[in-house]
Amino acid sequence: MSDILKKAIALGLGITAASRDKVQQFVDELVVKGELGQSESRDVVNRLIARGEEHRSEIKRMVQEQVRKVLADLDVATKQDLEDLERRMTAASTASTASTETVVTPETPAPPAKPTGPPSF
């Protein structure tokens, strides 16, 4: 029985790379060898798949955390940093454009026209 448990644990650890078909194949082999009853096989498959999903989720979480730490250590701009910068640049550009435009109203004379001929030296 300990051999079956070792195989199941090894499969459970490697389940992130194995498909449900591989798990089913493994359990079917145990049933054929008489090491596992037919009635237990479905439950074993479901438990191994669930365990694999748990491992996959945990590995994903750990990798994401490590990536965040490395990016923070390297002082890499985050998506939020870039979005904030874009908003500030848009606001500055809008303010700059608004301050350089001359609005001509009936009370405000138009700026003098620039000469259109060739430059005089």
Reply yes or no on whether the pLDDT at 108 is more than 70.
no
pLDDT tens-digit readout, 70-90: 888 988 888 999 999 999 999
Sorting pLDDT into bands at 50, 70 and 90, what band is 1? very low
Share of residues in the chain with pLDDT > 70 (%): 66
Tell me how far apart the terminal alpha carbons of the chain are, to the nearest angstrom: 103
Q: Output the DSSP codes for 4-52.
A: HHHHHHHHHHTTTTS-HHHHHHHHHHHHHTTSS-HHHHHHHHHHHHHHH
Decide which of 20 and 115 is more confident.
Answer: 20
Q: Which one-letter amino acid corresponds to residue 102? A: T
* 24 C-beta neighbours (distance < 10 Å), count: 16
